[in-house]
Amino acid sequence: MKKINKNNFIINIIKKDLLNKKYKIIKTRFPPEPNGYLHIGHAKSLFLNSYISKKYNGIFNLRFDDTNPIYENIKYIKSIIEDIKWLGIKINNIYYTSNYFNKIYKYAIILIKQNLAYIDKLSKNKIKKYRGTLINLGKNSPYRNQSIKKNLKIFKKMRKGYFSEQSLCLRAKINMSSNNIIMRDPILYRIKYNLHHQTIKKWCIYPTYDFSHCISDALEKISHSLCTLEFIDNRTLYNWIIKNIKIKFNPCQYEFSKLNLTFSILSKRKLKFLVNNKFVNGWNDPRMPTLSAYKRRGYDNNAIISFLKNININKQENIIDINVLESYIRDNLNINALRIMGVLNPLKIILINMLKHTEMILMLNHPKKQKMGFRLVPFHYKIYIERSDFKEKKIKTYKGLILGDKIRLRNSYIIKAKKIIKNICGIIKIIFCHYYSNTLNKNQNGYKKTNVIHWVSKQYSIIINVNLYNYLFKKSNIIKKKNLIKEINPFSLIIKNCYVEPSLFYYNKKKKYQFERIGYFYIDNNKYKYNLIFNRIITLKIKNKNNYIN
């Protein structure tokens, strides 16, 4: 894969700023609202900000924009910090917008005193109606010309808890006829009586995201305030606020396009909908595009970082094929996963000429890395192979075992299918095979190279549960789909039994496994179940672009 992120437009801007000595130090931040878990889209922004500060020996802060206690929760704060740690991204400081509530309150008073903010008593709906549309200009609120003195008095009483929620709010006095709707007297403060996770009961009025976001950036002296394209119009408001509250430092905002991935929803609101309506089992359900789900599923953090390093930073809205992310995950697993054998749909084989003893076969844990060690796998006269690995008659390009033909069992012997037994429905129950005792890991003299299939010993295998995950949605591009429920893939999770080598009983919690010829698997963190549960991290082969099931 070509490296594409070397010289994105933001880095070019920073290089120029440094050349012109515009800043002494580069400061960036990642500013999540603690109202959900981080998804891979957030990770794009997180990585970009941290990468830039690191590249120029700057400072990188994590700042929680925590201005809406209704939707925020300490559990989100914890998970965001944990996810960032897991990715291996270093943070210089953790700040909260709520650290600045005193200052932001004073800035609001500065605006009121300049007659640039007023208390509005219009209802929420009326405010919306008066704001107008792209075609219709807005209309002034009847409270717009209230005296400064009255505005100040009410605002102070608002803070003290004299009024009920939604009875009033503080608005900036800008221009109700502006072409930019955001400039039509935006709300700066609203009343909320919820407890706040940081300030607890101290406040009952909270600054809006827009009012506080730019102030927090300015107070932290963020040199390059990076955000996604939907904030372009907000930039004008941010500049207006900073100019009028007279903070000297004005962070420059630069916008880049959001990350979109095929078969994925990257919107907290929609992800929350899926969780709340139980279409998935929580935010870390392995079908979710959240970092906590990726971690649980067994995606490697370094593989995710490699993906983030190589995605384009620009201003074009686009959608990246999920295969790009998956190829990083797969390449990493191919190098690091331990190999074992497991059979999903068993078909019994009896080796007619083998004595009923057990032979232990020494196998490499990774075909190309002796360093990863060996294991002993029991071989016995009854084995299971995959049902799809046997056919009575030859079909072109078929690589499995055919009646009357030979095949190699992975890391063990060549066998020949002699006879089959079927049940009354015509389903094959047993294959009787001959095994060639002199072919352990070597070819029989004069016999052409055989195909290879995997197997497990019937007697010694253990049964585990496997969660086979497919995409959550049937369509590759679902970003703009209104009815998400209609698009949900009914086969996004298939739970099966799998017969695996006994060595997996002593699985390593930190290791990922390749079940040979099936896929990559990782132990699920559900500790309360009797059976071992493994999640399929990813299939071995790249899927067809529009395929949502394997």
Kindly list the residues in this chain that would bind ligand ATP in the complex (CB under 6 A): 31-33, 41-42, 44-45, 227-228, 258-259, 266-269
CB of 103 to ligand ATP, least distance (A): 21
**Cα(375)–Cα(377) distance, rounded to whole angstroms?**
6
The minimum distance between CB 386 and ligand ATP, in angstroms, equals 39
Q: Indicate the residue among 257 and 465 with the shorter CB distance to ligand ATP.
A: 257
User: Among candidates 243, 214, 184, 267, which has minimal Cα distance to 479?
Assistant: 267
What is the torsional sign of CA 281, 287, 289, 294? positive
Nearest distance in Å: CB 266, ligand ATP:
4
In whole angstroms, the minimum distance from the beta carbon of 267 to ligand ATP comes to: 5
Alpha-carbon distance of 180 to 199, in angstroms, equals 34
- How far is C-alpha 33 from the geometric centre of its chain's CA atoms? 16
CB 36 within 8 A of CB 297: no
Closest to ligand ATP by CB, 266 vs 349, is 266
Cβ atoms of residues 130 and 139 within 8 Å: yes
452 token code pair: 């290879």
**Cβ-based nearer residue to ligand ATP, 41 or 138:** 41
Minimum distance of ligand ATP from residue 225's CB (angstroms): 9
Which residue, 45 or 411, is less far from ligand ATP as judged by CB? 45
Cβ neighbour number for residue 204 with a 10 Å cutoff:
17
| Residue number with CB closer to ligand ATP (205 or 259) | 259
CB 479 → ligand ATP: shortest distance, Å?
A: 10
Q: How far apart are CA 154 and CA 71, in angstroms?
A: 27
- State the residue number with the nearest CB to ligand ATP: 41
Toward ligand ATP, which CB reaches closer, 268 or 408?
Answer: 268
Nearest to ligand ATP of 62, 116 (CB atom):
62
Half-sphere exposure of 237 (CA within 13 A, CB side): 27
User: Other CB atoms closer than 10 Å to residue 20's CB: what's the count?
Assistant: 8
Residue closer to ligand ATP, measured from CB, 42 or 224: 42
CB of 104 to ligand ATP, least distance (A): 18
Min dist CB 209 to ligand ATP, Å, is 8
Token pair 């969660």 is found at 467
Closest residue by Cα to residue 469 from 227, 332, 293, 351? 293
Q: What are phi and psi of 10, to 5 degrees?
A: -70, -40
Tokens 């679902």 sit on residue:
478
Q: How far apart are CA 110 and CA 172, in angstroms?
A: 11
